[in-house]
Structure 1
Amino acid sequence: MNNIRLRQFWDALHSSYWFLPGLMVVAAIALAFTMLTLDRTVGFEDWSLIYTGGPDGAREVLSAIAGSMVSVAATAFSITIVALQLAAANFGPRLLRNFMQDTGNQIVLGTFIATFIYCLLVLRTIYGEDYNPFVPHLSVTFSIVLAVLSIGVLIYFIHHASTIIQASYVIKSVSQDFHQAIDRLFPERIGISPPPEEEHRESLPENFANQSSPIAASRNGYLQAIDAEKLMKIACKHNLLLYIKTRPGKFVIEDSILLMAYPSKRVNHKLSKEINKAFILNRERTEHQDVEFPVNQLVEIAVRALSPGINDPFTAIRCIDRLGAGFCYLVQRKFPSPYRYDRDRQLRIIAEPVTFESIVDAAFNPIRQYSRSDASVSIRLLEAIAHIADYTINPEYLTVLRRHADMIARGAQEGLPEPQDRQDLQQRYHNVIAALEVV
């Protein structure tokens, strides 16, 4: 299993509420048997800090801890479900995956369940017959330690549950995903990138359209990732040129074209199935190879905040600030070439490129459309564009930013009823244009 599939598998485990608690339950079982073994082989009755009561008292202690852990675990689970419902209503269902990946909640649930299992396993070993009574003093003592630890975890959970549903926390978390995606994807390697002097030198063969064969998708789903190493090995093994027609983040429809393979005479059904395995499809998007996904999440929070039912422009402004910071970081990175070469410098793959324009469009267009009648949000969009312009001298990037500044100004001029608001926004627009021209 290669790195891409391992990461996808780990993301699936990390997004579940059973994996980490399950590991903690297994650890609790091992701990219970270890403590019981020590109790049977080593005498702890005379230790000052060890529980020294009889079998009836030990049963009561363990029963009380086990019963309370079940009740607290049920309460914690209910609070978690409520938090997920609030998150889906306020921030959008696409952000539920972020909450499901929260390690703190998983550890809390695992602690309560593991303590319950531990107490249950120790409780079954206590017997008080006159001829051979057995009380696992060390094991009972450790159950009390686990109960005290669980109280601390419960206090942490109350604080944590009230923190993770705050808008500032959610926006910061998604913004960090955006920065991490930038670090991971720019530049993204599929094979070996060409040196600068060879970039864009290659072009499709003249007979590519007639001699290439389409490879269709075998099922529906969001393209989460492309197994770059596998695809390059296939291209080299069969001496192919592969022109990818989609990219991670796009929804793939069954029988739609994934890529064009050249020449077509080397393509068969077996090869088509092998190529399909390099495209990892699933029911939802992830940010692993899709830099637009965290952008869409921030935009969704902003758009929901601007809806008439919520009407919270300050949350939208926070999202714009985070988007602006992310783009300031992005414009300093080199976008990868769509051309991918093997070790012999032969063109093997042409990838669907991710462009700065497409990412900016995904970020600013929805917010601009929903904020035409909100002066504060429109002004903050213009300020974000001015900040981004301070970090780049790329003329293509500046052209894209200028286009968005023009659209924001036009939309706000039509949507703002107050003349003074229109005047303020026009002044900010002139400042942005000056910043773009100076750069």
Structure 2
Amino acid sequence: MKNIKLSKLWDSLHSSYWFVPTLMAGFAIALAFTMLTLDQGEIPGLINKLGWIYTGGPDGARTVLSAVASSMITVAGTAFSIVLVALSLASSQFGPRMLRNFMQDTGNQIVLGTFIATFIYCLLVLRTIRGGEQTIFVPQISVTVGIVLTMTSIGVLIYFIHHASTSIQSAHIIGEVGRDLNNAIDRLFPEKIGQSFPELKHRFTGEIPVGFDQEAAPVLALHSGYIQAIDDKKLMNIAKSKDLLLRLNYRPGKYVVQGCELMRILPGKRINEKLTKQINNAFILGKERTDQQDVEFCINQLVEVALRAISPGINDPFTAIRCIDQLSAAFCRLAER
């Protein structure tokens, strides 16, 4: 696996509701200052040629931007409330494991980011409008861009209404989990595994020594948590540079307790505090399981949805059948590798 830590960082950002809205808010700030710079330039001819540019006075500009800003923050609050309702429904009906899939929904993040970005843009432009008797300044281009952002936000709101109603349907949720399972299989079990390469045809592979368990020394875990990923390249580099034989005792998805035996190395006399820290740094621990290197996590998600569906309180066998169909397709895909 390449760039394990970067992949973990991207997975954490992708599963958060602050990353995309923050980026879009930063873009709105940059856009506001750029448009205001254009408005302060000497381009009256350009404004006269473009008939669709806003040409009203300062009072009209204030009214338009104030109305847009107040409506955007209201719609953003309503959209966030709908997202919370969807998360609560998913947790109660499909299980708490499914919350991660909803948190990774890029569509909801873009919707919230669009409303927040439009609100910030209108506020920044609104503060520059001057309508005194001596100095009058109306950022006509900036106001026009604000109106365009408003139209865009209306389109995003229409998309959000449709997206919110379809994202909580069982068929959609099961299909998304099945897609994540297939992606995990393709990522962790590529088709080239098992095919011999000409340059590796006559490569010698040694066997594990008979007295490995007696001669090897344990490497203890320095922290507790779920193993989300293992940097196998880093472990291979450590093993080659120090001429070690490593045997993992835990795989991704398992929970390790601080002080437990993380792995065993041979020869055991070479273990020291520095080597223990280097090996522990190759294990990425977290508070929850992820599908980064854990295929079983997606399987457990489908199993949990199926079990909840056939429980006496829900009694929905067709949802369980959909889960079985996804699992069957995934196992057939995995058996071909």
- 1:250-329 aligned within 5 A: 250-329=254-333
Whichever residue aligns with residue 241 of structure 1, its letter is L
1:308 is paired with a residue whose SS is: coil
1:224 is paired with a residue whose SS is: strand
CA distance in 2, matches of 1:34, 1:320: 54
Residue in 2 that maps onto 1:96: 99
Residue in 1 that maps onto 2:216: 212
Residue in 1 that maps onto 2:16: 16
Residue in 2 that maps onto 1:132: 135
Residue in 2 that maps onto 1:38: 38
1:125-178 per-position Cα deviation (integer Å, ceiling 9, x unaligned): 001112220000111111111111101100000000111110000000000111
Superposed displacement of residue 252, structure 1: 1.0
CA distance in 2, matches of 1:173, 1:187: 21
Q: Percent identity?
A: 62
Superposed displacement of residue 209, structure 1: 1.9
Given the alignment of the two structures, is residue 176 of structure 1 paired with residue 166 of structure 2, yes or no?
no
The structure showing larger relative contact order (alpha-carbon pairs under 8 Å, at least 6 residues apart) is 2
Q: Give the aligned length.
A: 330
Superposed displacement of residue 271, structure 1: 0.5
Q: Provide the aligned C-alpha RMSD in A.
A: 2.0
Superposed displacement of residue 63, structure 1: 0.2
2:25 is paired with a residue whose SS is: helix
- 1:349-360 aligned within 5 A: none
1:223 is paired with a residue whose SS is: strand
CA distance in 2, matches of 1:206, 1:323: 39
Residue in 1 that maps onto 2:170: 167
Residue in 2 that maps onto 1:76: 79
CA distance in 2, matches of 1:311, 1:198: 56
2:87 is paired with a residue whose SS is: helix
Given the alignment of the two structures, is residue 57 of structure 1 paired with residue 64 of structure 2, yes or no?
no
Assess, with a 3 A threshold, how the Cα gap between structure 1 residues 288 and 97 changes in structure 2: closer, same or farther: same
Q: Which runs of 5+ in 1 are unaligned?
A: 334-439
CA distance in 2, matches of 1:17, 1:208: 48
TM-score in terms of structure 1 length: 0.73
Given the alignment of the two structures, is residue 86 of structure 1 paired with residue 92 of structure 2, yes or no?
no
CA distance in 1, matches of 2:297, 2:192: 19
- 1:148-167 aligned within 5 A: 148-167=151-170
- 1:374-389 aligned within 5 A: none
TM-score in terms of structure 2 length: 0.94
Residue in 2 that maps onto 1:243: 247
CA distance in 2, matches of 1:187, 1:64: 54
Superposed displacement of residue 308, structure 1: 1.1
